[in-house]
Structure 1
Amino acid sequence: MEPLEEAEVTELKRQLEEEDLDPEQKISLLNNTLNQALKMAALQTDGSTLTAVKSQLYLSGVLSHCVVLLSPDPRRPRGNWGAAATLAQLTSSCCVGVEPGKQSQTFHRLFLPSVMNSLLSLASQLMRRAECVSLFRKVMDSVGWLLRAHSQLTTQVLSSVHYEQIQMCDDVSVSLLCIQMWIQICSASRDFLSGLSDDSVLLLLNEAVGQLAVSSDSSVGGASVRLILLMANQQELRVQPLLHSFRGLDSLLDKDWRGRSFDQDVDQLIALIQSDTRSHPKACTERVRAASVIQAAWRSYQTRRRVKSLNRAVSTLQRKYRARRRQQQQQKEAQQWDEELKYQVCVRRQQARRLFHQKQRQLLQLLPPDQVQSYLQECERRAAVVIQSFWKGFRERQRYNNTHRHTLRQTHTRQQAARTLQRAVRCFLDKRRAEKVPPTPPFWIGQHGLTDSRRVELRRQVEEHISLHPSSRVSRQECERLHEEVQLLLLSELQGGDRRRREELRVEALLAHTHTQLELLREAPPLSTVTLKDSESFLSPSGPIAARARDSHNATLQASRLPWWRTLGDTADMFSPSHLQELEAELGGLFVGGSVGVGQPED
């Protein structure tokens, strides 16, 4: 048996490029051809034959067609999922051991990521189908086989959207299968982790720790613990510092995963995590544990919120996609029904015409020969009558429409002419009436004009009035000068007000600091009973200042709740310690600057 020849590869590529074959037929053709070619090459004694066959399939472009057929296409519903899973397995096998030659850079940077993306998208589609569990396992095995040969694809897999959808699946078998895949990859090759970057190792640890935090199944938890221990055994110097970044992981293991039949692995992992922290006991203080709890709660809240929003977004997208697909299907069915109805109408018309002609032929056969001509003339006469009646009806309707339209146009023209005449007559009558109205007498009684002597007398009176009553208005230059003076006075007043406010604030701050120091000294214990903790509190005035700020804040809240008439008198009794304690009990306490309780700083 000979391996795949160049003519066979060319013929296969030509068949794949034909538009007559649908995607399912192309997948079946590729499965048969690739399976037969790989089997024939594997039976050869020379090991380079299999490599040559895989390289030939890649360089000819056959594997590119495989990637296109495996890629998701919403316009093309997939029917045979088993054939697609088989094609994914064959494509993954063909990508291992290829010698691309001059196209090595294109093969590793473009082709392999596209193959991995197609495999993960197919796996995410199979994951949603309950009847395709074995096919999902088959595709994930193909992913693991490809990762063993090309470890640089690990970052793409861990950061892929399709792999994230697989991780968020609620099915325990899916999560267990993903963890087992990484265990098998790390166990098969001890150099797998050494070829990864620190970011990829951290992503892999994130997946294992995430399964420990989210899942409650014993098999998933045991597999996650074994994966972390396997990574630590192979790359201890890289993995152990990364494990210390997961705060609270040891307490999570001790609290949730003991008594699950793998306590020995749990103890070993806890010892590995705590191996470095025991040499630095100062790092495991109460503040670090509190920060770990807060961070864990916040991250869990963020994760739950993100998962909820993602599920809502996915459900919304699926609902809209299904509605759109249902609408398109209904439109397609309606179009098919319309076409079928039109076709049926045409067919029935042809059948009716054929039956009519057959009946005419039968009637002509029954008639005597001497009556055939008269019968045909009678048929022609009736046909002519029908045609003439239709033509006359059409002509009369057209004539009526034209006459009616001409009548409407004439009526409109007459109405427009009548309106124009009426408007002109009304204007003429208004003018005649205005001419008949007697003129209004003028308000000026006396002579109609001013004489020169009268003008001189009036001017003299005006000048005397101006001289006796000078104008109070000032010139424009005087207004501008007054405006500039006012602006300078306002600026100086504002600057003086700012200085006074700053001085008042500084005085108030000094008085508050002085009062705080006096109260601190007044309440200080004797030197014989002073402890280290008391001395630290006296060295830092943050606690008393926070207590005074809290009391001032509580007093402000109490004053805002009082009626207005209570604030008119003396307010000293309103802000007594009893009132402040009642207000603090009502509000449930305050958290000011790390202090908890009534004015007592946290130890």
Structure 2
Amino acid sequence: MSRSEAPPLLRTVMDAVGWLLSAHPHLTAQVLSSAHYEQIQMSDDVTVSLLCIQMWTQTCTVNRDFLSQLNDESALLLLNDAVAQLALSSDAAVGGASIRLMLLMANQLGLRLRSLLFNFKGLDSLLEKDWRGRGFEQEVDQLIAVIRQEEAASHQSEESSERVRAACVIQAAWRSVLTRRRVKNLSRAVSALQRRYRARRRRLQQQEAAQQWEEQLHYQVCVRRQQARRRLHQKQRELLQLLPADQVRPYLEECEHRAAVVIQSAWRGFRDRRRYSDALRDSARRQRAARTLQRAGRRLLEKRPAAQAPPPTPLWIGQEGLTDSRRAELKQQVEEYIQEHRSTRVSVEACAALHEEVQQLLQAELQGGAQRRREEQQVEALLAQTHTHLELLRDAPPLSVVTATQAESFLSPSASIAVRGRNAHNAVLQASRLPWWRTLGDTNTGAESGPAHLPELEAELGGLFIGGLAVDGVKL
């Protein structure tokens, strides 16, 4: 940044930091030990130094208990900054601000300042030598009086002078280190800046070269097209010169006709594409409008109470919960309605007969429905029983491990079925005891070697297990 832009921004930052520290004094140690504050202290600019001193002066003025809330280390660092500005700077504004800051610290710290000034021996001689005749002699005299009073109380003039010299040597060494570091960093910053500038300039040159190449290519393409068009026109002119005079006009008319056809076809294609896109937009707009209307209609129907109400129950004779008194009341209402609204075409006797007929048909329908429901229940029970028997037969254990209780569970309660099953089993046993020469050529032992009623039983039971055979290719 330029020197004209930096001071206002830095002043804003310093004012903000001063107001923050006046409300939160415990953050002073972090500010004084911050790396950014150290970089600001290393600046040689007079404005920066003056802003730093003014920030601390403003902070101590706004909050009178600010210095009393600091520890000795933070107060010593703050006093060290003020003394460093007096020792390093020759500007009158910086020196006056530093002296006023030290006087403000002396007023607020009181006896604590004695131990702090013990580290700055020779400060009175520095003030006497360098800062008199600058326009603030009264402040200088007050500060010198405070320092000498503290020195008289401490009686350590020799040690303080040695420490001042040592501090000066250390500060000089430290400033030299900071200066060398800043110069070294400055060289690196300049190198990085130059490298970035060269890279940016190279990139701009490449872009300009590419743009020039594209422009030259476009220009060459245009020139070649124009040359080709000229050669074509020249060739056409030569061909026209070779034609007879009576054929020139028909040839030109034919060329004009072909050109008109090409132009018209291009225009029709463009017009049809535009119409098609307009039609698509209109169709999409109509679809969106229809969806919007349908959505609004559905919301309106959902909000209506009639749409949410349950449908009315039909009034018929077999309705549940209809008592005799309610039936009589409804009948009275029907008769009153008939008396008030008599039909001109149907007589009362015909209406009564029709009513009796309807009641009889309704009663017959109700009775028939009950009978059908009983029959359906019986059929369902028989099917369930049959499926149960089939599952028992399918999961039957082998005869080698079967028990008497398990065998009794397969006996049918019907006498006729039990007799037929026993006869079929005996027929199978007899067929298994026949000699081998009697079974030669037999493929269906159940139909020929068994009793005569075995095929009939199979047909009647419809594929159930008979005599231990496998029915429908499944071994049960």
Q: What is the TM-score with the length of structure 1 in the denominator? A: 0.37
Task: Determine which structure has greater relative contact order: mean sequence separation of CA pairs < 8 Å that are 6+ residues apart, divided by chain length.
Answer: 2
Q: What is the TM-score with the length of structure 2 in the denominator? A: 0.45
